[in-house]
A and B are shown apart, each in its own frame.
Chain A
């Protein structure tokens, strides 16, 4: 067993190393033809830029993506500066420099990877998947009979904030920084998944397709790990299957297929305000221009947020979304499961959480208010603040940094629900509904708690579950995503997630069950 696992680990690391090293390879050469296409597609009117490109880039071979990127972005910047100084606004190229550079690089690149896409798919994704499975599957036997086997989690450098955890942290943060801010560096990665993208949408892969595909692959592999770890627990098995289904079908396949039929890319389960740009004018315009389906999506998106989401939370708690449907939740519950014990359980963290997560919700609502006002009134600024600016700030701070870089990158250090707990505006909204108007609670089983602390330790949302359980109090908390792990790890059968009548949901706990005190007598004497 151990040997198979070690070989698996080695294969995985080889795959990961090859994948990572691809950033440093490849040749980039812009032919006059590519430049011509670019000028036509983008409607570039700046002769200065074209001259710059012709003198500095065209016909030259760059041996890595970094120098190529530097050349393109500096050409772009310097020409834009000149035009802005001269107030030649129609000549300015408004694209984000590195996205612009990415689009050129995608065509200008050549080399081994682009010529052997499937070979490199096997050397990276293939080896990674194979190796990971060889590491994971033997645990059916190696970890003993079905049951909670959290043995050694706090001794393992990967899961106790040890050096492996920190290494993973740096790697993930680096990955997200590249993905969001330097797509032109990772052109080689996108070549690998071109064939898959073409078979789905008919287009070449963008960095977002790469991310979507990688997301699904990681979730599938880590879901297999979940299936093995919790094979005795049907709630976990079904929940894992559900998040996997919604990620692959709703977040990945359907949107890509929509694109194939020249419809807007849309993830039907991604509810506003998590889907923060739903009301952005470009999206509204695109939806309205897309005929019946576009209108349906528009109505669906609104109904989803205003009706479906809160009604479902009333009946089932926010878990129906956060740990059964949501993509962010899906990654947290699969890739993130090994890190759930790292969330901060202190009262301080809880206080911070409430300020931050509701702050983000407020930010999202204000930004959307600005957006809609601008959309309907045509004004590009509200109260002297440009709508575009506030959208950009939200996109950068919340959309990219909080949800991506911090949300996933911080898994190995702060636990797997950093985004869901501190940042997600939808979670904040669902949380308010769950706290005040819902049938969901975690029932505490009378006086059976022994205060061991497994529940609190393994709560990914940092809820001090034990603090309630040891008082015999049901757990009714806005942040609970209903993953069910507290109940799973409890050695005494104390916790049960359930939906029941609102009456008695928050139970009185003057004296715990077991001690036969005449309660009325006690109250009268006080």
Chain B
């Protein structure tokens, strides 16, 4: 029986395990049969990393972040091993654990995810200084920032998705937060200026002390090795604080592969089949680095969805149906305090030469739609939608069919995914587009027939 070992029990590793089991659910005596082991140093069971924030905020208990009940693993014959892999002996197909034991594998999937970036800031390893990634990070938050008595002020360094989530978390416990963002506007490396400005406002409206164009210089220690204050590079200002959150992005968690012979760059180098340079060793999820970027995507994508898709793909390959990782049209989502964000296709922070843009914002300043399309061919390229939910299927279809922007706008009513009775804005959006572009697009009524054709 072939033994598949997966290092890492995040979304990538667990998806791979589930799909391998699904595809090889045969008699144990069969040659196709597979033994599956998932190794994790972090937690006994799979949990949703993206939900850790809700545990701290008291929306959920940690158990609620576990998508499968504890009996699930045994029932599906997926063995779980708690242990920290120190190194991999790829010649002998053997894992060596920090605890001293070893584990033999026939095929190995590396799905070890990311770790928070630290850029060599003085004081970055002090007590009360941490990132927000793992279960242990969550537990440390309860030690260093349980409430606003223990922590009079927190400083967050790094203006990305995790940074704003951490700000929301701390804010939920009434802890004053200073948010140091290197960029001149929040996440403007990814978001166009309009959306970025909207989120700046949302952050300020929630009482966060947002400091744009501000870098961290030093984290200052007290006499016990705990953070006391930070100093801002640009102004030299000293901000007293009891906690520093480092949220300046993540990078692949692959230090343990140093002497394994597995080729690494920033991440584990893989081809389109998610194979590393060593036969029978695969890498998926945040820690995998494509040798050649796929389309407009980055070689490393630390995104929930891509991790899941890589898990689905590698399972096919391992079960005898060698399949390239072929992510479809880009999509993503997030929530910035009370503003939900979804994106389908590409809307770059700066328009490319061939791109034209259309932007609509609601008067309340909490909803907007930003559409990118080709100036010459009119082809729809992508959409950012803030405060309005839209259908994934709809835009996937538009992108696949290379529909012109006029067609997308004409059918925008089909795209709406807000709860029933919500105010609809498609008319305003189309009217604004018509006014700006001298077009005469007539919004069509929502059609169930069209919506269900998209499947």
Q: Does A155 contact B (CB under 8 A)?
A: yes
CA distance A516 to B399 in the complex (A): 13
Q: In angstroms, how far is the closest chain A Cβ from the Cβ of B255?
A: 27
**Shortest CB distance A71–B (Å):** 51
Bound-complex Cα distance A512 to B312 (A): 9
- Please measure, in the bound complex, the distance between the C-alpha atom of A151 and the C-alpha atom of B328, giving whole angstroms: 36
Query: Is A153 a contact partner of B58 (Cβ separation < 8 A)?
Result: yes
- Is there contact, CB below 8 Å, between B321 and A522? yes
Q: Which residues of A contact B57 (CB under 8 A)?
A: 150-152
Residue among B50, B54, B422, B423 having the largest count of chain A Cβ atoms under 10 Å: B54
Please tell me if B356 contacts chain A, counting CB pairs below 8 Å. Answer: no
A511 close to B (CB within 8 Å): yes
Interchain CA distance A488-B452 in the complex, whole Å:
23
Selected interface stretch from B94-102, B231-239, B388-396 = B388-396
Question: Is there a chain A Cβ closer than 8 Å to B363's Cβ?
Answer: no
Interface of A is mostly: loop
Q: Does A514 lie within 8 Å of B338, measured CB to CB?
A: no
In the complex, how many angstroms separate the beta carbon of A204 from the nearest chain B beta carbon?
Answer: 43
A454: CB under 8 A from chain B?
yes
Given A151-B59, A515-B312, also A452-B48 (CB < 8 A): yes
What residues on A are CB-neighbors of B67 within 8 Å? 451, 453, 466-467, 470
Check B396 against A513 for contact (C-beta < 8 Å). yes
- A484 to chain B: closest residue by CB: B419
Interface-side segment among B222-230, B259-267, B329-337, B428-436:
B329-337
Name, among A152, A470, A516, the residue most crowded by chain B CB atoms within 10 Å (CB to CB).
A516
A492 and B338 contacting across the interface, CB-CB below 8 Å? no
Question: Once bound together, how far apart are the Cα atoms of A450 and B337, in whole Å?
Answer: 17
B119 interface residue (CB < 8 Å to A): no
Decide if B323 touches A450 in the complex (CB within 8 Å): no
Interface string of A485-508 (1 = CB under 8 A from B): 001110111001110110110011
Q: Is A517 an interface residue (CB 8 A)?
A: yes
User: Measured between alpha carbons, how far is A457 from B333 in the docked complex, in Å?
Assistant: 21
Task: Given A145-B206, A238-B421, check contact A492 B48 (CB 8 Å).
Answer: no
Residues of A in contact (CB 8 Å), total: 60
Is B353 located at the chain interface by the 8 A CB criterion?
Answer: no
Residue B69 lies at the interface, judged by CB distance under 8 Å to chain A: yes
Set of chain B residues within 8 Å of A289, measured between Cβ atoms: none
Asked if A233 lies at the interface with its beta carbon under 8 angstroms from chain B, I say yes
Q: How far is the CA of A208 from the CA of B65 in the complex (A)?
A: 43
Counting CB contacts under 8 A, is A3 at the interface? no
Q: Is the CB of A525 within 8 A of B321?
A: yes
A235 and B420 form a contact (CB under 8 A)? yes
Cα–Cα distance between A185 and B379 once the two chains are bound (Å): 76
Q: Which residue of A lies closest to B171 (CB)?
A: A144
- Pick the contact of B172 from A152, A457, A500, A517 — CB < 8 Å? A152
User: Do the beta carbons of B58 and A152 come within 8 Å of each other?
Assistant: yes
Contact B60 A515 (CB under 8 A): no
B33 part of interface (Cβ distance < 8 Å): no
0 or 1 for each of A225-243: is its CB under 8 Å from B? (1 = yes): 0000000111100100000
Q: Among the listed stretches A92-100, A331-339, A441-449, which one makes contact with chain B, having 4 or more residues with CB under 8 Å of it?
A: A441-449
**Using Cβ atoms and an 8 Å threshold, which residues of chain B touch A457?**
59-60, 64
A232 nearest CB neighbor, chain B only: B338
Residue among A456, A507, A517 with max Cβ neighbours from chain B (10 Å): A517
A447, A496, A511 — most chain B CB neighbours (10 Å): A447
B59, B342, B421: the one contacting A154 at CB < 8 Å is B59
Residue B51 interfacial (CB < 8 Å): yes
Nearest CB on A from B29, distance (A)? 21
Residues of B within 8 A of A511 (CB): 312
Q: Are B420 and A452 in contact (CB under 8 A)?
A: no
Partner of B419, one of A152, A234, A447, A526: A234
Determine if A346 is an interface residue (Cβ-Cβ < 8 Å): yes
Residues of A within 8 A of B342 (CB): 448, 492-493
Within 8 A of A (CB), among B278-311: 304-305, 308-309
Closest to A150 in B: B59
A453-B326 contact in complex given A445-B389, A470-B67, A491-B335, C-beta closer than 8 Å = no
Complex CA–CA separation, A514 to B303 (angstroms): 12
Which among B60, B66, B326, B391 is the interface contact of A517 at CB below 8 angstroms?
Answer: B326
Q: How far is the CB of B143 from chain A (nearest CB, A)?
A: 16
User: In the complex the two chains form, is B58's CB within 8 Å of A491's CB?
Assistant: no
Nearest chain B CB to A526 CB, angstrom units = 8
Question: A145 vs B316: C-alpha distance in the bound complex, in angstroms?
Answer: 46
Assess A447 versus B452: contact at CB under 8 Å? Given A234-B421, A238-B421, A512-B309: no
B304 surroundings in chain A (CB, below 8 A)? 450-451
Confirm or deny: B448 has a beta carbon within 8 angstroms of a beta carbon on chain A. Answer: yes
Q: Looking at the complex, which one of A145, A154, A500 makes contact with B58 (CB distance below 8 Å)?
A: A154
Chain A positions within 8 Å of B334 at CB level = 492
B11 at the interface (CB under 8 A from A): yes
Residues on the A chain within 8 Å of B42, using CB: none
A515 in contact with B326 (CB, 8 Å): yes
Instruction: Tell me the bound Cα distance from A522 to B321 in angstroms.
Output: 9
In the complex formed, the residue of B with least CB distance to A498 is: B420
A39 at the interface (CB under 8 A from B): no
Is A303 interfacial (CB 8 A cutoff)?
A: no
A393 sits at the interface (CB 8 A): no
- CB of A145 within 8 A of CB of B51, answer no
A511 to B304, CA, bound (A): 15
Contacts of B60 in A (CB 8 A): 154, 452-454, 457
B338 touches A493 (CB 8 A): no
CB of A525, distance to nearest CB on chain B (Å) = 5
User: Is the CB–CB distance between B417 and A493 below 8 Å?
Assistant: yes
Cα distance A448–B417 when bound, in Å? 12
A488 to B421, CA, bound (A): 13
- B61 interfacial contact with A, CB 8 Å: yes
Is B209 an interface residue when CB atoms closer than 8 A count as contact?
A: no
A88 to B64, CA, bound (A): 64
Does A1 reach chain B (CB closer than 8 Å)? Answer: no
- Tell me if A147 is interfacial: C-beta within 8 Å of chain B: yes
- Please give 7 more A-B residue pairs, beta carbons under 8 A apart, in addition to A152-B57, A501-B448: A154-B59, A235-B419, A443-B417, A450-B304, A504-B452, A508-B455, A515-B326
Q: Which residues of A contact B (CB under 8 A)?
A: 144-148, 150-156, 232-235, 238, 346-347, 443, 445-448, 450-454, 456-457, 466-467, 470, 484, 487-489, 491-493, 496-498, 500-501, 503-504, 507-508, 511-517, 522, 525-526
Q: Which residues of B contact A (CB under 8 A)?
A: 11, 48, 50-51, 54, 57-61, 64-67, 69, 172-173, 205-206, 304-305, 308-309, 312-313, 316, 321, 323, 326-329, 331, 333-335, 337-338, 340, 342, 389-393, 396, 417-423, 448-449, 451-452, 455
Shortest 10 CB-CB contacts between residues of A and residues of B: A446-B392, A147-B338, A493-B389, A452-B51, A516-B328, A152-B58, A515-B309, A234-B421, A150-B59, A451-B48
